[in-house]
Amino acid sequence: MPIWLTGRKEELTQVSRALRPGRIVTLVGPGGVGKSTLARAVVERFRRAGFWADLALVDDLDLLRSTILYAFNASSLGDAATRVGQSRSLLVLDNCDGADPDWHKAIQEIRLTLPRISILATSRRRLGFREELTIPVNPLATESTPGLRVAPATDMLALRVSSARRGLWQPNAADMERLARLARITDGLPLALELIAARSQTLTLSELESVFANIEPGSTETSFGALSGVFRRSLVYLPTNERDALFRLTAFPDSWDEDAARALDVSRSELDGLVEASLVVALFEDDTIRYRLLDPIREAIQAELSDSSSVEEWRSRLALHFLERVQPQGVRPFRESPTDPFKIRKDLASYIQAQRWFGRRQMTEQCSIITIGLAITHLLQEPRSQSYEWIRAQLTQSEADHAAFGHVLCCGALAAMNMGEFDEAKAYLYRATTIAETQKSRFYGPAA
């Protein structure tokens, strides 16, 4: 069993038995306990067709629907049903901590449209859905039992330390006693164990004990307590440039790539150092590397930065960077593939969230309008594209009333005519005309 699943054999078996079409299984536990790791193991171990939706940023029903559709790379649930077919598959809804009663309708739509799909969710609390089965994911035991000579938390820490030292270290009896004391400090939280193990590359076990001594174990109901204490001690031994880079990276609400990190003056070597320290996770997607902060680490950093005036500046720089990236004549990667709305929407999620934080509604609208425009361009090139339903929803729901959106409505009318939706085309043109009259400005291009 992989190191990161040490002590999780029982939960892994329990989840595999519980999953069945139409049922929602929720892994419930504190931040840093390994819920997402366990969910990934379920997808990989049981060779199911897996679809992953990270809902950490979702704060309304429309964003929930679009995020789930993005996981299927689909523009509608009907399109998703076509992609899934009759095979049994698994949808993972990760980080459902913001779930509210309005989510029930969207989840029910998925269950009705995709009757053969199983749903696995992760959250710090029960979601309250019908047909929901909750499976607790608790911290690893820190004390041995008659059936276990070594406590699971101690075993995991020993394996992680050995891995950090490239397998060139084998613990003796005295080492295992030190590791057991360190494991108790962490409350058995796997993420806290990871942070301690990462420091073992440069510190002896005796030095680790001195560094992390006197941390008060915290409540397992939150991400703080022991995890927060371990995190703060870890920062002391982080190089100054990497510590500063880590703080700047909290400006990203979701994952980011190396190009976006450079906008915040974070270099590749600093990213590699933070990955080595288990503070940043590297994700390999479509032959590229993206990075992200685990939510408990983000929360701990933000607690440290709560009074910092620099946060607003970082988010402003990030927002401007994403604005440049989404311009139709902008920089790579959109110059290489400028008409793929799904790829564009992935990076724009970070931009839009940054704008929500920064409170600049106009720039958020401009970003959304560019996205819709690019999607329409894609549709005009591929008349059978499944993107039209998404475009229709965006044009209908947007309350924008400035000239740029008028241009997009005119392009939307062309797209509607291309799809044979002539009544919708007339409605878009009428709305564009109303905007033009309201703005008392003259349109060019498609509206001439």
> Which parts of the chain sit beneath pLDDT 50?
218-224, 327-345, 351-352, 354-364, 441-448
Q: What is the pLDDT of residues 406-426, one digit of tens each?
A: 777 887 887 788 778 888 888
Q: Kindly report the CA angle at 294 between 293 and 299, in degrees rounded to 5?
A: 90
Domain of residue 22, CATH code: 3.40.50.300
Q: Does residue 193 share a domain with residue 84? A: no
- According to DSSP, residue 446 is labeled G
Q: In this structure, which amino acid lies at residue 197?
A: A
State how many domains the chain has: 4
Q: Does residue 87 share a domain with residue 101? A: yes
Q: Does residue 158 share a domain with residue 128? A: no
What distances in angstroms separate CA 58 from CA 54, 84, 98, 225, 441, one per listed residue? 8, 24, 7, 26, 36
Q: Does residue 363 share a domain with residue 317? A: yes
Q: Does residue 250 share a domain with residue 225? A: no
Instruction: Examine residue 408 and state whether it is found in any structural domain, yes or no.
Output: yes
- According to DSSP, residue 93 is labeled E
Q: Does residue 393 share a domain with residue 379? A: yes
The pLDDT of residue 373 is: 61
286 is in which domain, residue-wise?
Answer: 240-304
Instruction: Examine residue 143 and state whether it is found in any structural domain, yes or no.
Output: no
Order of strands, edge to edge, in the sheet holding 24-28? 49-54, 89-94, 117-123, 24-28, 132-136
Instruction: Give the closest residue to 143 by CA, choosing from 134, 135, 151, 154.
Output: 151
Report the 10 Å Cβ neighbour count for 399: 6
CA–CA distance, 233 with 231 (Å, rounded to integer): 5
Instruction: Examine residue 125 and state whether it is found in any structural domain, yes or no.
Output: yes
Phi and psi at residue 53, to the nearest 5°? -120, 115
Taken in order 77, 78, 80, 81, the sign of the CA dihedral is positive
The pLDDT of residue 241 is: 92
Q: Can you name the residues that pair with 286 across neighbouring β-strands?
A: none
Q: Does residue 339 share a domain with residue 437? A: yes
Instruction: Examine residue 146 and state whether it is found in any structural domain, yes or no.
Output: no
CA–CA distance, 42 with 92 (Å, rounded to integer): 10
Q: Does residue 337 share a domain with residue 284? A: no
The pLDDT of residue 222 is: 39
Instruction: Give the closest residue to 164 by CA, choosing from 192, 190, 191, 203.
Output: 203
In this structure, what is the dihedral angle of CA atoms 385, 386, 389, 390, given to the nearest 10 degrees? -90
Q: Which of the listed residues 304, 331, 352 is the one where a domain comes to its end?
A: 304
Q: Does residue 287 share a domain with residue 249? A: yes
Instruction: Examine residue 18 and state whether it is found in any structural domain, yes or no.
Output: yes
- CB-side neighbour CA atoms (13 Å) of 165: 19
Instruction: Examine residue 184 and state whether it is found in any structural domain, yes or no.
Output: yes
Q: Which of the listed residues 189, 216, 236 is the one where a domain comes to its end?
A: 236
Instruction: Examine residue 145 and state whether it is found in any structural domain, yes or no.
Output: no
Domain of residue 247, CATH code: 1.10.10.10
Q: Does residue 111 share a domain with residue 9? A: yes
**How large is the angle between the packed helices 103-113 and 61-72, nearest 10 degrees?**
30
Residues 200-225: b if buried by 16+ CB within 10 A, e if exposed: beeeebeebbebbeebebbebeebbb
Phi-psi category of 76—alpha, beta or left, where left has phi over 0 and alpha has psi -120 to 50? Answer: beta
Q: Which of the listed residues 82, 108, 136 is the one where a domain comes to its end?
A: 136
> Where are any strands of DSSP class E within 246-292?
256-257, 281-285, 288-292
Q: Does residue 159 share a domain with residue 89? A: no
Order of strands, edge to edge, in the sheet holding 281-285? 256-257, 288-292, 281-285
Q: Does residue 160 share a domain with residue 114? A: no
